[in-house]
């Protein structure tokens, strides 16, 4: 089946709905599986961190994979990047609710954190909110194309930095955190190589255009 000439059964808002439903089902299953609500919420925090990270990586590398591997699957992912990004925002909303709930169930949680420790996550959530709001056309139209692109590009890098910081600082406590940290570094490399490939393709196109339509000498 050619993905380029057929409409996927799950795309657009349907894709967002499926992902959101799966996240909610996972959340309910985790809470149901733990008799202790505190442990259940802690597990939910970890699980939604993983779903958010996965969805972010897909959106973060979508355009790079199209440049590096221009296959039907990569083009399909790029086409659905907006809804994958919104699903990431939804996953992180559930993650935030779980953190808030944990703070209510374990009152010692917030006093044990410094204000400085909350800054990266707060900045990350600010960009998630801004990027989510500007993903809807009525709001996006109020921004210039340049401003929109700058906001979303900056937001992606800020969120990547928050994930990197979160995983890196935990490596001394648990070496398993080196795995997602390494995956994120690989994703950053893929994104950068993809940007170089896109720039090279634009140069080649411009060169062919100049050769095809040379400027006449005066």
| Model pLDDT, residue 9 | 57
The CATH number assigned to the domain holding 71 equals 1.20.120
Domain that holds residue 202: 12-207
Residue 216 lies in a domain: no
Between 215 and 167, where is the model more confident?
167
CA distance 95 to 117: 17
Residue 38 lies in a domain: yes
| Model pLDDT, residue 4 | 46
Flag whether pLDDT at 52 surpasses 50.
Answer: yes
pLDDT tens for each residue of 54-90: 999 999 999 999 999 999 999 999 999 999 999 999 9
Residue 214 lies in a domain: no
Split at pLDDT 50, 70, 90, the class of 218 is very low
Burial of 198 (C-beta count, 10 Å sphere; 0-12/13-18/19+)? middle
Residue 142 lies in a domain: yes
- If you average pLDDT over every residue of the chain, what do you get? 89
Split at pLDDT 50, 70, 90, the class of 2 is very low
pLDDT tens for each residue of 132-154: 999 999 999 999 999 999 999 99
| Model pLDDT, residue 34 | 94
Inter-residue contact 131 to 155 (CB < 8 Å): yes
C-beta atoms surrounding 49 within 10 Å: 19
Domain count of the chain?
A: 1
| Model pLDDT, residue 157 | 97
| Model pLDDT, residue 198 | 85
Q: What is the largest CA-CA distance in the chain?
A: 84
CA distance 13 to 103: 32
Residue 81 lies in a domain: yes
Residue 5 lies in a domain: no
Two tokens, residue 118: 């909350």
pLDDT tens for each residue of 179-216: 999 999 999 999 999 999 888 877 776 676 655 655 54
Q: Which residues contact 116 (CB under 8 A, 6 or more apart)?
A: none
Written as one string, the DSSP assignment of 128-172 is HHHHHHTTSHHHHTTS-HHHHHHHHHHHHHHHHHHHHHHHHTTTT
CA distance 181 to 187: 10
Residue 183 lies in a domain: yes
Residue 215 lies in a domain: no
CA distance 182 to 55: 16
CA distance 8 to 56: 21
Total residue length of the chain: 218
| Model pLDDT, residue 217 | 44
Between 217 and 32, where is the model more confident?
32
């Amino acid at each position: 089946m050619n993905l380029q000439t057929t409409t996927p059964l799950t795309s657009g808002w349907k894709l967002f709905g499926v992902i959101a439903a799966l996240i909610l089902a996972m959340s309910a299953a985790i809470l149901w599986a733990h008799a202790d609500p505190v442990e259940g919420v802690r597990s939910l925090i970890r699980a939604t961190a993983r779903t958010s990270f996965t969805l972010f990586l897909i959106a973060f590398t979508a355009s790079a994979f199209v440049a590096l591997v221009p296959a039907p699957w990569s083009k399909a992912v790029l086409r659905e990047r907006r809804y994958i990004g919104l699903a990431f925002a939804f996953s992180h909303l559930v993650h935030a609710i779980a953190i808030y709930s944990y703070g209510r169930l374990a009152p010692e949680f917030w006093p044990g954190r410094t204000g400085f420790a909350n800054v990266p996550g707060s900045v990350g959530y600010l960009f998630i909110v801004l990027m989510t709001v500007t993903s809807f056309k009525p709001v996006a139209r109020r921004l210039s194309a340049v401003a929109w692109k700058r906001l979303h590009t900056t937001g992606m890098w800020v969120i990547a930095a928050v994930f990197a910081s979160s995983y890196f600082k935990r490596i001394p406590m648990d070496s398993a955190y080196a795995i997602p940290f390494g995956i994120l570094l690989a994703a950053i490399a893929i994104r950068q190589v993809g940007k170089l490939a896109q720039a090279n393709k634009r140069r080649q196109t411009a060169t062919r255009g100049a050769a095809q339509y040379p400027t006449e000498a005066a």
